[in-house]
A = this chain, B = another copy of it.
Amino acid sequence: MSQRQHLPADERRERTVEAVIELCGREEPATLTTGRIARRMGVTQGALFRHFASKEAIWEAAVTWIAERVMARVAAAAEGVEDPLAALEAMFLAHVAFIAEHPGVPRLLMGQLQHPRPTAAGRLVRELLERYRRRLLGLLEEAGRRGQLRAGLDLEAAATQFIGCVQGLVLQSLIADDVAGIVDRAPAAFELYRHGIRADAGGDA
């Protein structure tokens, strides 16, 4: 049972983050203990603290890991898509696909948003969402310039509701305990969103 221990530090940290995210797919983040994280990696609990100064540091690393990957995935999906509304759709689907691949992610991020004030990990989550929103706003403004959006549309609200849309799917999957099905429900959700923002022109069923 002891294939490869003694990993270099970077790799051990990476494995730790992966273990945390994987465990968040099944357990409540708040009750996740360093002992369970360690056991999952096949390592003793004390070993974790050679690589992380505290448990909080583990959460920080996990949030950073997620932020990098989700932003990269979403950026890659929108890359080279000329039409801004199509880019939004691509981002939406990429975001949802990422969640489906990592079911622990929503719970982890929500868990960090739960403690109200000033944890470092919580701050990172807020920053991630802020960057995300700004990117959405940019695309929405461009779509507006091209006349693709309803007159009088509140762009701020539209950006917020894009995230709310994903959030609704996630919530649904938390209720139904069916994270995989989120991908199937995503297109209908985005269609609904698009109808909410786009100009009333040439719409069909």
Are B171 and A163 in touch, CB under 8 angstroms? yes
B-contacting 9-mer, from A49-57, A70-78, A187-195? A187-195
The answer to whether A28 and B28 have CB atoms under 8 Å apart is: no
Q: Quick check: A171 and B175 within 8 Å, CB to CB?
A: no
Interface of chain A residues 9 through 34 with chain B (CB within 8 A): 26-31
When chains A and B are docked, how far (Å) is the Cα of A196 from the Cα of B161?
Answer: 11
Which residues of B are found within 8 Å of A151, using beta-carbon distances? 205
Name the one of B113, B163, B185, B203 contacting A168, with C-beta atoms under 8 angstroms.
B163
A153, closest chain B residue (CB): B192
Interface size on A, residues (CB 8 A): 51
- Which of chain B's residues have a CB closer than 8 A to the CB of A165? 161, 164, 168
Residues of B within 8 A of A152 (CB): 205
Interface residues of A in 160-188 (CB under 8 A from B): 160-161, 163-169, 171-172, 174-175, 177, 185, 188
Residue of B with least CB distance to A201: B200
Q: Which of B26, B115, B189, B192 contacts A31 (CB 8 A)?
A: B115
Q: Is A120 an interface residue (CB 8 A)?
A: no
- Say which residue of B26, B150, B157, B193 sits within 8 Å of A116 (CB atoms): B26
A2 at the interface (CB under 8 A from B): no
The interface residues of chain B lying within 8 Å CB-to-CB of A194 are 196
A143 within 8 A of B: no
> Oligomeric state, in number of copies?
2
Contact of A175 among B130, B172, B174 (CB under 8 A): B130
CB pair B30–A30 under 8 Å, yes or no, is yes
Residue of B nearest to A177 (CB): B116
Would you give the shortest CB distance from A29 to chain B, in whole angstroms?
A: 7
A129 at the interface (CB under 8 A from B): yes
A93 → B minimal CB distance (Å): 15
Binding site for B on A (CB under 8 A): 26-31, 107, 110-111, 113-116, 126, 129-130, 150-154, 156-158, 160-161, 163-169, 171-172, 174-175, 177, 185, 188-189, 191-197, 200, 203, 205
